[in-house]
Chains A and B, each alone.
Chain A
Amino acid sequence: MTDRMLTYREAVREAMTQAMRRDPEIVVMGEDIGIYQGSFGVTGQMYKEFGDRIIDTPISESAFVGCAIGAAMEGMRPIVEIMFSDFMTVCWDMLVNQAAKMHFMFGGKLSVPMVLRTAAGSGTGASAQHSQSLEAMLCHVPGLKVVAPSTPADAKGLLLAAIADNNPVIFLEQKTLYPTTGPVPEAADPVPLGKAATLRKGTDCTIVSYGRMVPRCLKAADMLEKQGITVDVIDLRTLLPMDKDAVRRSVKKTGHLVIVHEAVKTGGLGGEIAAAVTESDAFYALKAPVARLASRDVPVPFSPVLEEGVLPDEAAIAATVRQLVR
């Protein structure tokens, strides 16, 4: 069964479809998600099965995200699609001041079970306003949960968990991952939020990553293995709440930590991951400084040479690990 291969895009669609068949309170809202099938083709032909539960909205992120929040407060379980994650800044108030705060400031008497799915990250030539990785900004807001799956199976399982969660969950789908394939179980089994996955086991170094950079870390691990260096590769999967224990446990074993993310380095989650180790007893296991590999601190450039050039590749990841463990 698990040999069935799906694309990441199909896995997201399958999660929504299976959840919607079970729960009539789930609706999907967003721009051009009906007959147009979504800008990245994620909703596909769902409009045929679900009719008016697939709600095309005017271009007005604040209005439809706010509308989803209101509907969620009143018993629905909306999934909203924001075409590009950069457009979250257009409805920042709805995420930061509304969705994240409602449960707390109203004394726990209402909740916002909403999932906001959005296409994030660079790699498609979409340039500076359509390619950002803004997850660190989201993780700075208590009340939100932030998820960034790297595989089709996790895309499905984590989305099912996000839909079942009673909090606002921001679900970041790295857009270059949409056509990637992997085995995906047919059953609608959620993958729990807040749990990292260790994708590779080793003894010399811990590589922590998420989203688009995970496949690069795995390639780096392959390269290193040929040179006799074995590593743990930890895919965080959920960024808020973060599975810091998984990172600490691994570092205690390996004594080295390399963090890899696509978002720019300054103010990025790498700092938070490093602090999770240095403020715990895992600090004493470190045999070398922590290394962070991330995008250079620039807006995402257009030229493919520059767009790729500002990011760490597998060779850079492998080289960093080699240097640390030497």
Chain B
Amino acid sequence: MEQKEELLAKMYYRMNQARFFEEKVSWFNSKGKINGSVHLAIGQEASSVASCLALDEKDFITMTHRCHAQAIGQGMDVKKMMAELLGKETGYCQGKGGSLHLSNMADHNVGSNDVPGMGYNLACGIALAQMLQKTGNIVLCFGGDGSTNEGDFHEALNLASVKQLPVIFFIENNYYSVSTAIEDHMKVESITDRAAAYEIPAVSIDGNDALEVYDATQKAAEFVRSGEGPMLIESCTYRMCGHDSSDLQLYRSKEEMEEWSQYDPIANLKNQLKEDQLMTDEVLRQLEENAKRSVNEAADFAENAPEPSLEAVLDSVYA
């Protein structure tokens, strides 16, 4: 029971951490302190964080371009993340990757991929290596609704199915592919219909309910780990922010956004923790404050971190 409490506290902490992190990123971005655009996942924290928490320590994840919450969910250090976003030497990738290419191979986070749909194949490869090396580890492969229209998604699902690879395709359906609404970019009712074409078992879940996300991912992980082949989870959620920093969100109504904001995954979990798990306001407030402090410290760390040296720019072109 205590173990469960610990898990729930971690879940709530990391979801808050992800939210504060992205609010800080948004602020940095507005001040021109981040080179280029950023893709935030505000509103998708339950989906990104709770899924990662259902994995074993040695399991792998691959991420999408909307990766901050996924990375925090998997346990990446917000200091090194923020330093990377600010292009600093002490960032995860020495300032060579940025927001779009975070990775932490040492802890089995294989990184984010900015070409939509191209991460599915790589996840298959990580899974193949696990299968051939008989490690018992599995791969959680994040994707988005829009990228399931890419041919590579279908190639990867077919290959994973044929070779029975230990991978969970975790598709975060936020109903928009940049500005294109899902009804305008796919004809099938649910992304799970696409898995059916490859005889991959699939479930559709409420991605704003962290506990449901956790349970579904845990079940999928068990299935995949047993050698039964891949699984697909469609995690239905909503991006409570623009696609990137320049998105004015003219393609959707204020009413729709308002309606979803009433279903904020963090508020949702907070209610569940209070009412069903009897977690006290004091504990919850402490978790929120700790999360906020960690992000503020990360921001200080990143701002004061050294810039990368131009002399070393060629260093990692080749291994």
Contact = CB atoms under 8 A, between A and B. Distances in A.
Interface of A: 27, 55, 57-58, 60, 62-76, 78, 93-94, 97-98, 102-113, 142-143, 145, 166-167
Interface in B120-158: 120-130, 132-133, 151-152, 155-156, 158
Given A58-B158, A66-B125, 19 more contacts: A57-B159, A58-B155, A58-B162, A67-B122, A67-B128, A70-B121, A70-B129, A94-B121, A98-B115, A103-B317, A103-B319, A104-B316, A104-B317, A106-B103, A107-B91, A108-B316, A108-B319, A110-B103, A110-B105
B123 to A, nearest CB: 6
Top 9 nearest A-B pairs (CB, nearest first) are: A70-B125, A66-B121, A108-B316, A107-B93, A63-B155, A111-B319, A166-B319, A70-B122, A60-B155
A67 B110 contact: no
Interface in B90-108: 91-97, 101, 103-106
B155 A71 contact: no
Contacts of B159: 57-58, 60, 63-64, 67
Residue of A68, A73, A97 with highest tally of chain B CB at under 10 A: A73
A75 B105 CA distance: 11
A290 to B, nearest CB: 28
Contacts of B128: 67, 70-71, 76
Given A58-B159, A62-B152, A66-B118, A108 B94 contact: yes
Interface string B278-319: 000000000000000000000000000000000000011111
Contacts of A55: 163
A72 B127 CA distance: 11
18 contacts: A57-B159, A62-B121, A62-B151, A63-B156, A64-B121, A65-B121, A66-B124, A66-B125, A69-B125, A70-B124, A70-B127, A72-B125, A73-B122, A78-B125, A106-B111, A109-B93, A110-B110, A143-B317
Interface residues of B, number: 44
Contacts of B319: 103, 108, 111-113, 166-167
A63 B105 CA distance: 22
B118 A63 contact: no
Contacts of B111: 102, 106, 110
A93 to B, nearest CB: 5
A143 B318 contact: yes
A60 B115 CA distance: 18
A7 B319 CA distance: 32
Contact of B105 (A58, A60, A109): A109
A105 B318 CA distance: 11
Interface of B: 60, 91-97, 101, 103-106, 110-111, 113, 115, 118, 120-130, 132-133, 151-152, 155-156, 158-159, 162-163, 315-319
A319 B138 CA distance: 62
A169 to B, nearest CB: 11
A242 B249 CA distance: 49
Contacts of B110: 70, 73-74, 110
Nearest to A142: B317
Contacts of A60: 155, 158-159
Given A63-B152, A166-B319, A105 B93 contact: yes
A111 B118 CA distance: 18
B148 to A, nearest CB: 14
Contact of A69 (B122, B132, B155, B318): B122
Contacts of A104: 96, 316-317
A145 B317 CA distance: 11
B126 A74 contact: yes
A106 B118 contact: no
A139 to B, nearest CB: 14
B132 A63 contact: no
A219 B1 CA distance: 82
Contacts of A78: 125
A106 B92 CA distance: 7
B121 A63 contact: yes
Nearest to B165: A67
B317 A74 contact: no
Contacts of A142: 317
Residue of B96, B106, B122, B129 with highest tally of chain A CB at under 10 A: B122
A106 B93 contact: yes
Contacts of B103: 106, 109-110
Residue of A71, A94, A113 with highest tally of chain B CB at under 10 A: A71
A63 B95 CA distance: 29
Given A27-B132, A167-B319, A106 B125 contact: no
B85 to A, nearest CB: 13
A74 B93 contact: no
Contacts of B317: 103-104, 142-143
